[in-house]
Structure 1
Amino acid sequence: MDSIIVRGNGPLSGEIPIAGAKNAALTLMPATLLTDEPLTLTNVPRLSDIKTTNELLSSLGTEVAVLQGGQIIVLDTHKITNHTAHYDIVRKMRASILVLGPMLARDGEAVVSLPGGCAIGARPVDLHLKGLEALGAEIELKEGYVHAKAPTGLKGAVIELEFASVGATENLLMAATLAKGTTVIKNAAREPEIVDLADCLRKMGAQISGDGSTDITIEGVEKLHGATHPVVTDRIELGTYMLAPVIAGGEVELLGGRINLLAAFCEKLDACGISVTETKRGLKVASRNGRIKGVDVVTEPFPGFPTDLQAQMMAMLCTADGTSVLEETIFENRFMHAPELIRMGASIEVSGGTATVTGVEKLKGAPVMATDLRASVSLILAGLAAEGETIVSRVYHLDRGYERLEDKLSACGANIERVSE
């Protein structure tokens, strides 16, 4: 099992190219199941979750061609040859549930294992299932699998989500493209990844309006066709690397970054006293003189502060001047990085969904353990500024969401290496 060793090495300087969004790519890939023509995705991140999705789609009959080292993927599902997404693949990754809507819409049947792949809370799929039932699907849960049928096809409906779930919005959006009539998804999620999916589906011939707002309208069509689509910039990778020069010192340009992807996050950085400027190629982030200021953070659905940047933000605030309060409102059990940061000398008190961070002058390197994807990268960020050596174990989580992290940070002067135990 691999570990990553980080040694505090002073300020960073240089540029970091930001990859395509993992969460967008994992949503776009199942869209191949909606058409018998090829779907070509460019700017695809090279991550283990992408390989898992390729494996899942291949098991359903998709022909997968990986080009340019993985940055281009051509998916051709001329025929769905198997309508069962088995547990041994689905258990690795929650996004696997997104094959349910497209298979049901195109062929009227799907059997999908209830997903796994996450340690940060229950994240139930009931909103997906209720929405599909509103579209006319017959759904039964048996032995850990969702058995869904729509013998006469799906029919348009007005669906009001109890919560602005990203996954449910994506699944229902794809399913509704081939439903008969008009579908309106109310209280829809507004994330950039949803808009990216809608853009791709429109290229495939779907009739969609309102994406990016709380109400999305889909006019069902009989058939979708192939398309070529670039995956949107990964706003979570962008935000993560924006914090690196703040924690370690220095100045870094993030290629492909845009403030509108992370407006609420950038507002918090400004409140901390951090300089973020737009350039012709992306964003430039620089640490200012002296310690940053503490700031309070509440995670919220987009366009609020992203839950997927909460752990990284906490790492930065560990050495801020003053006290910061972070409130996690999206997922339970998402402060598992706090005990590991405390091992590095941080002062953090956790009570339920709230963490209070009192800034210290300096963190100290220590052996720490990654518990999930975002926790793992928060510990690496903390190690950039810590005295001595930080050894982060169980970094297999990291490879699910960050491509070539060591290379990108090393190119800016970080002292970081991966070792195999």
Structure 2
Amino acid sequence: MGEFVVRGGRRIDGRITVHGAKNAALPILAASLLASSPVTLYDIPRLRDVDVMIEVLLALGARVERSGTTVWIDPRDIHTYAVPAELMQKMRASIFVLGPLLARLGRASAIQPGGCAIGDRPIDLHLYALTQLGAQLTEEAGSTELVAERLRGAQVHLTYPSVGATENLMMAAALAEGETRIRNAAMEPEIVDLAQFLERMGAVVRGAGTSDIRIVGQPTLTGTDYQIIPDRIEAATYALAVAATGGRLVLENCIADHLPGLWGRLREVGVDVRDGEGDVVEIVAPDRYPVRPISVHTGPYPGFATDMQAQFMAFLLKVPGVHLISERVFENRLGHARELRRLGAQIIADQRVALIYGGKPLRGAAVTAGDLRAGAALVIAGLMAEGETVISGREVIERGYEQLDQNLSQLGADVVAR
């Protein structure tokens, strides 16, 4: 397994362009299966998870060509409804093809997906949502199969605003007969991006970005060209890296409104966050922070994103005071606290709540990335620490960050991938 080697103590200065959003690209790649003609997608990030999703599309019979950040998909020859088990086990987002396959072929089959070990993430809500459109569900020996001669629109109330379940339901409903109404829908920007893509293919989607989404199914959807939104979590990670180390960073291709929970927190402790013209955000960090206890509770959008929690915990190690983080989305997403303690961090944590004693010095050590965002947090902590930090599990981090070492190095950090 690869490593990142981080030598701390350097300020960050410069500008960087945020890549396309992984969490928008994956469902939109899956949604391309709904089209009756080729789809061209722009600004698709070059990440391991994207590679796996492309493998899934190829295994199902699609033709896929890639040139840089542009991906062309021809889904007309889709011929199988079963996602290969080895691909499902590589990445949880493989589950996104269930809705499109069911709508397109009348059948979909998969096993429980893999992914980061951040807590129990059953697919029950996905399956419930699809059965509300008329699919029949059978489960046997760890395999799930959905069958529907014809999907029909329905009113579906989600017991939790799950992003994945909302997206799977939207995709299936786009080819269903009649209108589907999703109550308690997820409201994340990635939901809006998927809705706009479906509309470009000819679907009728209203209310995306609110908790009440309506989709009027169409007999067919046509291929289109579409550009993915910027990755708000990547932008947040770089913003927190500069906030943790001092310096100045200009983020290009960054939609400030997609991070409502972050900018206010940074300004609260003295970070200067400025919105520039277009999709540009400038961050100027002080050398020292005042004693300022911070309390953060993760939650569905527009709350503080769980995908920013680990990186924000690392940043709080720089801010003097006793801070509280409450993880309210996943029940096992504080494992990075143990690894941060190897660097000298003073953190008391259980599965859902952590107390962070900020303002204490950190020292380089050998640590392991247990999941994608935990790995990013360890990189940020390594940038603050004295000496050398060796982070095992580089491949885990590269599931969500393209050329992380090169990007940080061009900003003045000392980060090497090996």
> Shorter-chain-normalised TM-score: which range?
over 0.9
Partner of residue 359, structure 2: 360
CA distance in 2, matches of 1:381, 1:203: 39
Is it true that 1:217 corresponds to 2:218 in the alignment? no
Question: C-alpha displacement at 1:77, in angstroms?
Answer: 0.6
Partner of residue 374, structure 2: 375
* Post-superposition CA distance 1:237-296 (Å, at most 9, x none): 000000111111100111111220101111111122211111225111111242253311
Q: Aligned runs of 1:17-416 on 2, under 5 Å? A: 17-67=17-67, 69=68, 71-151=69-149, 153-280=150-277, 282-291=280-289, 293-416=292-415
Q: What is the root-mean-square deviation in Å for CA atoms of aligned residues?
A: 1.0
**Structure 1 alignment gaps of length 5 or more:** none
CA distance in 2, matches of 1:145, 1:170: 21
**What amino acid does structure 1 have at the position aligned with 2:30?**
P
Question: C-alpha displacement at 1:83, in angstroms?
Answer: 1.0
Contact 2:334/2:350 (8 A) holds in 1 = no
Contact 2:241/2:380 (8 A) holds in 1 = yes
Contact 2:246/2:287 (8 A) holds in 1 = no
CA distance in 2, matches of 1:155, 1:47: 36
Name the TM-score, length of structure 2 as normaliser.
0.98
Question: C-alpha displacement at 1:39, in angstroms?
Answer: 1.1
Question: C-alpha displacement at 1:36, in angstroms?
Answer: 2.2
CA distance in 2, matches of 1:27, 1:231: 11
Contact 1:120/1:334 (8 A) holds in 2 = yes
Count of residue pairs brought into register by the alignment:
416
CA distance in 2, matches of 1:149, 1:394: 39
SS of the residue aligned with 1:84? coil
Question: C-alpha displacement at 1:318, in angstroms?
Answer: 1.1
CA distance in 2, matches of 1:276, 1:326: 22
Contact 1:347/1:360 (8 A) holds in 2 = no
**What amino acid does structure 1 have at the position aligned with 2:112?**
L
Matched-pair identity in %: 44
CA distance in 2, matches of 1:99, 1:47: 18
CA distance in 1, matches of 2:205, 2:303: 24
Name the TM-score, length of structure 1 as normaliser.
0.97
CA distance in 1, matches of 2:360, 2:33: 53
Contact 2:334/2:351 (8 A) holds in 1 = no
Residues 276-285 or 407-416, more deviating: 276-285
SS of the residue aligned with 2:361? coil
SS of the residue aligned with 1:91? helix
CA distance in 2, matches of 1:412, 1:55: 33
CA distance in 2, matches of 1:80, 1:74: 15
CA distance in 2, matches of 1:290, 1:267: 18
CA distance in 1, matches of 2:10, 2:110: 49
SS of the residue aligned with 2:398? helix
Contact 1:44/1:73 (8 A) holds in 2 = yes
Contact 1:346/1:360 (8 A) holds in 2 = no
Which stretches of structure 1, 4 residues or longer, exceed 6 Å deviation after superposition? Answer: none
SS of the residue aligned with 2:14? strand
SS of the residue aligned with 2:90? coil
